[in-house]
Chains A and B, each alone.
Chain A
Amino acid sequence: MALSITSTRGASPNARRRRPTEHPWTRFRIRRGGGVLLSFVLLIVITFFIVPLLPGDPAVVAAGEGATAEQIEATRAALGLEAPRGAQFVNYVGGIFTGDMGASFATGLPVSSVVLARLPFTAEIALMAIVLTLLLGVPAGTAAALLTRGGRRPGLDHAFNAATSFVFAVPNYVLATLIVYIFAVLLGWFPASGAATLSSLVLPTAAIMIGPACALARIVRREAASILEQDYVRTARGWRLSTWKITTAYVLPNLLTTTLTLSGLILAGMLGGAVVIETVFGWPGLGTGIVTAITDRDYPVIRGTILLLGIIATLLILVVDIVLALVDPRTLEAGE
């Protein structure tokens, strides 16, 4: 590392041109790779200890109600709970890599298939929602910043602030209840629950995205307003570029870093939102899955779901970081 730093510093412009990105990318890979690895190790350790920490004897729960002492002992052996903790951990880690996470206490089905069957439903809502959040939040925030720059239209300024912060303050489950009441109960346009048809996707997606869209619009607006005050926008005005050109070529590209970072966080947050929203709409995703599993004390499924959600959240952060480094070379250099 030290060597590569000195060599870059002392390099002539020609040398820099030959290997322009090698040095920061190597460092970036080490840094991010390390972080992701650490997160995975922690996730595996935490999820392993969830079961031993849980109240009650998993064997008793797994054997079902009214099981005899022999049945419980047989279950205990079958679950491998008699082995020393170290051996259990090795088994657990091995199981993760081979896809064998045990069987659901409630249904007896393999955990991996239970969890993976629910994943597409949550992914469907979350991806739809993040796309809509971006499509709504970024233009709304940018437009608000342009229209109110330098103190223009104070009325719009106040209205935008009041509306977005009020809607953001309404919890998604209250919003969901309201949406169900209006669009399913009163108007009957969309089904109130289930995932049978394409139209049943509409209400859950709407309920989960409205809050984040407002939050994103507010942040984009603040960011865009500060970009409009930047020297390079003044330069562009000096070149007499149109407002449209200034917005698309000077404001939006500089919003990208903020927007990307936020969308990663929002998308990860939607996994949490999914728990609540899926409950309202009876949506068969990971959210209802984990709630049911906790209520049923279905430990293997709890463990599997948490592990999967954790891996998704970690990968999301990693993907955002990589995309950021690709679109904005300054991120790489400012990293350390």
Chain B
Amino acid sequence: MSTASRRTLWRPAFTLGVVLMAAVVLIAVLPPIFVTGAATAITDDTALPPGRGHLLGTNDFGQDNLARVLVATRLTLVMTVCASAISVVGGLVVGVAIWLAPRTVREWCLRLLETTVAYPTLITALIIAAILLPGATTAVFALGIAGIPGFARVTANLAGRTARSEYFLTSRFLGVGSYHLAVRHMIPAMAEPLLVLATTIFSATLVEISALSFVGLGVQQPQYDLGSLLNDSLESLYTQPIEALGPAVMIVLASVAAMLIGDGLAAHADPRTARTWSPRTPEANAAASPAADDEALVRVRELAIRGGEDRRTLVKGIDLHVAPGEIVGLVGESGSGKSLTAMSVAGLLADDLDLEAAELRVGDMNMKGTPAAAQLAQEIALIYQDPGTTFNPSRTMGPQLTEVLRTHSGYSRREAREALIEALATVGIDQPELRMKQYPHQLSGGMRQRAMIAAAVVNRPQLLIADEPTTALDVTVQVEVLRIFHELRRRLGTAVLFISHDLGVVGELCDRVVVMRDGAVVEELSAAQLAAGDVADPFTAALLDAVPQIDMSRGLPEGSRS
């Protein structure tokens, strides 16, 4: 085990859990040897308050409450361990067996498990306890069996995931036997999540086995466990409340310990990087003061962005401008800082990144400050890459696409709808009225991207920031989306900051290209220079070499039209 993974496991909470559990186990093992007498002997010291000799007082029979709690812990713990073992082993066998069974059997079994799991464990346990005679052994079997479906279901789901993995399919294809598959491949692959689940089962069983005794259907007189002790104390809650304290604390202690251990194991299996939070303060001034002769729409000077725990420099010394109506490409590998730069321009940089710039403005808005939301929304539009998740999946397209019009531009619902239907038609979407009523998943990727563009341009923004808008699309759809951008600029004169890792796409569209690498601008080229291959930086040359040439003037290649 590496030091790093050891650190994620032995966090304070997990350590506390282990210590508490160790204490509970010690209590279960050691004291019963010494105090059984005080716990069971009936004396005349009945219902004593807490005091010397009897830290938790005595009960109605003159038995020492503390001693009884210590003794009861052992029985509770033994029963819990046995019942959990039945659930885990039974669940494992059933779960794996289901996955090795033929398909139809498997599906019926899985469906059955789903239904069984929804049935409360305690009631299943009650049924079993009713069939067998109440007692400690019955309680163990009742909860052990009642816990099997839950464990089996998770095992079956995990096994399903393993069974679909490539190495498993390969082994099966190579003729490895079912037993061998289960023992050698399936169970080891599921070990960690199942261990976490086992601690959960332990904690749940502890609580429920005590519940069974608590309602009087578990451990019977003269035996006693924590649950039955708590029930006894209930009757004397008005006269001798201290009697409830021992069993209550003990159950909570054991349950919390199991939970802490389970959480610790889960966190170890799925470590989330702890993030530190130090937000930057925006500048108070939201209005920009551009130099008198500066005609540019977007002006970025000496932009630097730092972030992470070590405040690493992510982007530095960026100078960038976009003239009104100009299409500027921002190109670089992933991680070159092009999206961070674009998001800074949009005023959407994550709050915990530090931003410095001599100037950062769009029109008359100082993007280092916090310009009014309405102005931002109307003047800067954004289009993202579409992996199918850019729209809210639980709302229809209409309300989402008209969001800016309704929220920031004072359109009524109907006006916004009409404006958008028109815009959808101009970007080449058929049946726009229908699309407005559809959910995002009912549209194709190309259609969603066009809808996104329509929603952006309907506000007539000054600046359109497009972050890899064509990356997730088919090549033919890409070409069409690029045409829409051309068309937009021609009709509306919208300036575009177009981010891409694809020099080919950028070369077709942009007037000017800014190449970034490792958080800095490497070089800046005009479209003509790019087309001629007239590049100075070797990195740009390498990028350019990697581009398959698409000549849009000759139209689409034969046969690629849908």
Contact = CB atoms under 8 A, between A and B. Distances in A.
A50 to B, nearest CB: 6
Interface in A246-287: 249-250, 253-254, 256, 264-265, 268-269, 271-273, 275-276, 279-280
Contact of B275 (A151, A310, A327): A151
Given A173-B214, A294-B217, A152 B277 contact: yes
A15 B216 CA distance: 63
Secondary structure class of chain A's binding surface, majority of residues:
helix
B306 interface: no
Contact of B211 (A17, A168, A171): A171
Contacts of B227: 173
Most buried by B among A39, A265, A271, A310: A39
Contacts of B79: none
A150 B277 contact: yes
A239 B403 contact: yes
B386 to A, nearest CB: 8
A169 interface: yes
A258 B22 CA distance: 36
B420 interface: no
Interface residues of B, number: 80
B382 A238 contact: yes
Most buried by B among A39, A239, A309: A239
Given A265-B118, A295-B216, A181 B395 contact: no
Given A232-B391, A275-B215, A329-B439, A317 B118 contact: yes
B120 A256 contact: no
Interface stretch (B54-62, B287-295, B343-351): B343-351
Given A272-B120, A294-B126, A253 B214 contact: no
A29 interface: no
A330 B111 contact: no
A169 B214 CA distance: 17
Given A169-B259, A295-B217, A54 B373 contact: no
A150 B352 contact: yes
Contacts of A256: 394
A85 interface: no
B234 A280 contact: yes
Interface string B210-231: 1100111100000000010011
A241 B407 contact: yes
B255 to A, nearest CB: 5
Nearest to B452: A235
A211 B210 CA distance: 17
Contact of A151 (B127, B277, B452): B277
A310 B119 contact: yes
B393 A330 contact: yes
Most buried by B among A55, A153, A171, A250: A171
Interface stretch (B90-98, B128-136, B326-334): B128-136
Interface in B181-219: 203, 207, 210-211, 214-217
A301 B256 CA distance: 37
Interface string B24-36: 0000000000000
Interface of A: 13, 17, 35, 38-39, 42, 46, 50, 53-55, 150-154, 165-166, 168-171, 173-174, 177-178, 180-181, 185, 192, 230-232, 234-242, 245, 249-250, 253-254, 256, 264-265, 268-269, 271-273, 275-276, 279-280, 290-291, 294-295, 302, 306, 309-310, 313-314, 316-317, 327-330
6 contacts: A169-B252, A173-B230, A239-B403, A249-B395, A254-B392, A310-B119
Given A151-B276, A240-B377, 13 more contacts: A13-B430, A35-B111, A42-B112, A55-B133, A152-B279, A166-B256, A171-B210, A238-B381, A254-B393, A271-B120, A275-B123, A279-B215, A313-B118
Name the 8 nearest CB pairs between A and B, nearest first.
Answer: A272-B120, A151-B275, A272-B122, A238-B382, A240-B377, A240-B373, A231-B389, A253-B394
